[in-house]
Structure 1
Protein backbone atom coordinates (compact mmCIF):
# COMPACT_ATOMS: atom_id res chain seq x y z
CA UNK A 1 0.00 0.00 0.00
CA UNK A 2 2.69 2.51 0.92
CA UNK A 3 4.67 1.62 -2.19
CA UNK A 4 1.62 2.17 -4.38
CA UNK A 5 0.88 5.58 -2.84
CA UNK A 6 4.55 6.61 -2.98
CA UNK A 7 4.67 5.65 -6.67
CA UNK A 8 1.47 7.61 -7.42
CA UNK A 9 2.87 10.60 -5.56
CA UNK A 10 6.20 10.39 -7.38
CA UNK A 11 4.37 10.24 -10.73
CA UNK A 12 2.59 13.45 -9.70
CA UNK A 13 5.78 15.15 -8.54
CA UNK A 14 4.92 14.96 -4.83
CA UNK A 15 7.42 13.93 -2.17
CA UNK A 16 5.32 12.13 0.45
CA UNK A 17 8.29 11.91 2.81
CA UNK A 18 8.50 15.67 3.14
CA UNK A 19 4.75 16.32 2.91
CA UNK A 20 3.56 13.78 5.50
CA UNK A 21 4.84 12.11 8.61
CA UNK A 22 6.39 8.73 7.78
CA UNK A 23 4.09 5.72 7.70
CA UNK A 24 4.14 3.69 10.91
CA UNK A 25 6.61 0.80 11.09
CA UNK A 26 5.24 -2.71 11.44
CA UNK A 27 5.19 -3.82 15.07
CA UNK A 28 7.83 -6.24 16.28
CA UNK A 29 6.49 -6.85 19.78
CA UNK A 30 3.35 -8.90 19.11
CA UNK A 31 3.13 -11.93 21.38
CA UNK A 32 0.65 -13.72 19.11
CA UNK A 33 -1.92 -14.36 21.86
CA UNK A 34 -4.69 -12.18 20.43
CA UNK A 35 -4.51 -9.61 23.20
CA UNK A 36 -7.17 -6.94 23.59
CA UNK A 37 -5.46 -3.80 22.32
CA UNK A 38 -2.89 -5.74 20.29
CA UNK A 39 -0.02 -3.76 18.81
CA UNK A 40 -1.37 -4.69 15.36
CA UNK A 41 -4.62 -2.84 16.09
CA UNK A 42 -2.65 0.33 16.74
CA UNK A 43 -0.56 -0.24 13.63
CA UNK A 44 -3.61 -0.69 11.39
CA UNK A 45 -5.29 2.39 12.87
CA UNK A 46 -2.14 4.48 12.27
CA UNK A 47 -1.80 3.07 8.73
CA UNK A 48 -5.43 3.96 8.05
CA UNK A 49 -4.79 7.59 9.03
CA UNK A 50 -1.53 7.75 7.03
CA UNK A 51 -3.25 6.28 3.97
CA UNK A 52 -6.13 8.77 4.24
CA UNK A 53 -3.69 11.68 4.56
CA UNK A 54 -1.71 10.45 1.55
CA UNK A 55 -4.86 10.00 -0.55
CA UNK A 56 -6.13 13.47 0.38
CA UNK A 57 -2.78 15.01 -0.52
CA UNK A 58 -2.72 13.22 -3.87
CA UNK A 59 -6.33 14.20 -4.58
CA UNK A 60 -5.56 17.87 -3.88
CA UNK A 61 -2.56 17.86 -6.20
CA UNK A 62 -3.94 15.72 -8.99
CA UNK A 63 -7.62 16.58 -8.81
CA UNK A 64 -8.45 12.87 -8.84
CA UNK A 65 -10.03 10.92 -6.06
CA UNK A 66 -8.24 7.67 -5.34
CA UNK A 67 -11.05 5.18 -5.00
CA UNK A 68 -9.14 1.93 -5.40
CA UNK A 69 -6.11 1.64 -3.20
CA UNK A 70 -4.50 -1.75 -2.60
CA UNK A 71 -4.93 -2.84 1.00
CA UNK A 72 -1.86 -5.06 1.34
CA UNK A 73 1.19 -3.53 3.07
Structure 2
Protein backbone atom coordinates (compact mmCIF):
# COMPACT_ATOMS: atom_id res chain seq x y z
CA UNK A 1 0.00 0.00 0.00
CA UNK A 2 1.50 3.38 -0.96
CA UNK A 3 2.12 5.71 1.93
CA UNK A 4 0.87 9.27 1.72
CA UNK A 5 3.71 11.78 1.80
CA UNK A 6 2.06 13.68 4.67
CA UNK A 7 2.28 10.69 7.02
CA UNK A 8 5.38 10.21 9.15
CA UNK A 9 7.85 7.42 8.60
CA UNK A 10 6.27 5.50 11.52
CA UNK A 11 4.16 3.94 8.79
CA UNK A 12 7.19 2.97 6.69
CA UNK A 13 9.75 1.76 9.22
CA UNK A 14 10.02 -1.98 9.78
CA UNK A 15 9.07 -3.54 13.10
CA UNK A 16 12.44 -5.13 13.84
CA UNK A 17 12.40 -5.26 17.62
CA UNK A 18 10.49 -4.12 20.68
CA UNK A 19 12.25 -0.74 20.82
CA UNK A 20 11.23 -0.01 17.22
CA UNK A 21 7.68 -1.15 17.93
CA UNK A 22 7.34 1.04 21.02
CA UNK A 23 8.75 4.05 19.19
CA UNK A 24 6.39 3.55 16.26
CA UNK A 25 3.38 3.10 18.55
CA UNK A 26 4.26 6.30 20.41
CA UNK A 27 4.59 8.29 17.20
CA UNK A 28 1.31 7.00 15.81
CA UNK A 29 -0.57 7.57 19.08
CA UNK A 30 0.77 11.14 19.22
CA UNK A 31 -0.32 11.78 15.64
CA UNK A 32 -3.79 10.37 16.32
CA UNK A 33 -4.06 12.53 19.43
CA UNK A 34 -2.96 15.64 17.56
CA UNK A 35 -5.71 15.05 15.02
CA UNK A 36 -8.20 14.21 17.79
CA UNK A 37 -8.76 10.71 16.42
CA UNK A 38 -9.14 7.58 18.48
CA UNK A 39 -8.23 4.01 17.72
CA UNK A 40 -8.27 0.94 19.89
CA UNK A 41 -5.15 0.34 21.95
CA UNK A 42 -2.26 -1.40 20.21
CA UNK A 43 -1.79 -5.08 21.06
CA UNK A 44 -0.17 -5.75 24.42
CA UNK A 45 3.49 -6.71 24.55
CA UNK A 46 3.74 -10.47 25.12
CA UNK A 47 5.07 -11.74 28.41
CA UNK A 48 4.79 -15.49 27.89
CA UNK A 49 7.64 -16.21 25.46
CA UNK A 50 9.64 -19.28 26.42
CA UNK A 51 12.65 -18.20 24.34
CA UNK A 52 12.93 -21.45 22.38
CA UNK A 53 12.11 -19.97 18.96
CA UNK A 54 8.81 -21.81 18.61
CA UNK A 55 6.94 -21.85 15.32
CA UNK A 56 4.10 -19.40 15.95
CA UNK A 57 5.96 -17.62 18.77
CA UNK A 58 3.98 -15.04 20.70
CA UNK A 59 6.33 -12.41 19.26
CA UNK A 60 5.36 -13.35 15.71
CA UNK A 61 1.71 -12.87 16.65
CA UNK A 62 2.50 -9.58 18.36
CA UNK A 63 4.29 -8.11 15.35
CA UNK A 64 1.54 -9.31 13.01
CA UNK A 65 -1.16 -7.76 15.23
CA UNK A 66 0.87 -4.56 15.56
CA UNK A 67 1.23 -4.36 11.78
CA UNK A 68 -2.55 -4.67 11.46
CA UNK A 69 -3.03 -1.96 14.11
CA UNK A 70 -0.62 0.29 12.21
CA UNK A 71 -2.54 -0.32 8.97
CA UNK A 72 -5.79 0.65 10.73
CA UNK A 73 -4.19 3.86 12.02
CA UNK A 74 -2.93 4.66 8.53
CA UNK A 75 -6.42 4.20 7.11
CA UNK A 76 -7.95 6.33 9.87
CA UNK A 77 -5.48 9.14 9.21
CA UNK A 78 -6.24 8.98 5.51
TM-score by length of 2: 0.65
Unmatched runs of 5 consecutive residues or more in structure 1: 60-73
Bigger Rg, which one: 1
- Matched with 1:3 is 26
- The 4+ residue runs of structure 1 with deviation greater than 3 A are none
1:52 aligns with 2:71: yes
Structure 2: distance between partners of 1:2 and 1:49: 12
Higher normalized contact order (CA 8 Å, seq sep 6+, divided by chain length): 1
TM-score by length of 1: 0.69
1:28 aligns with 2:47: yes
Unmatched runs of 5 consecutive residues or more in structure 2: 1-23
Structure 2: distance between partners of 1:36 and 1:9: 34
Structure 1: distance between partners of 2:36 and 2:48: 36
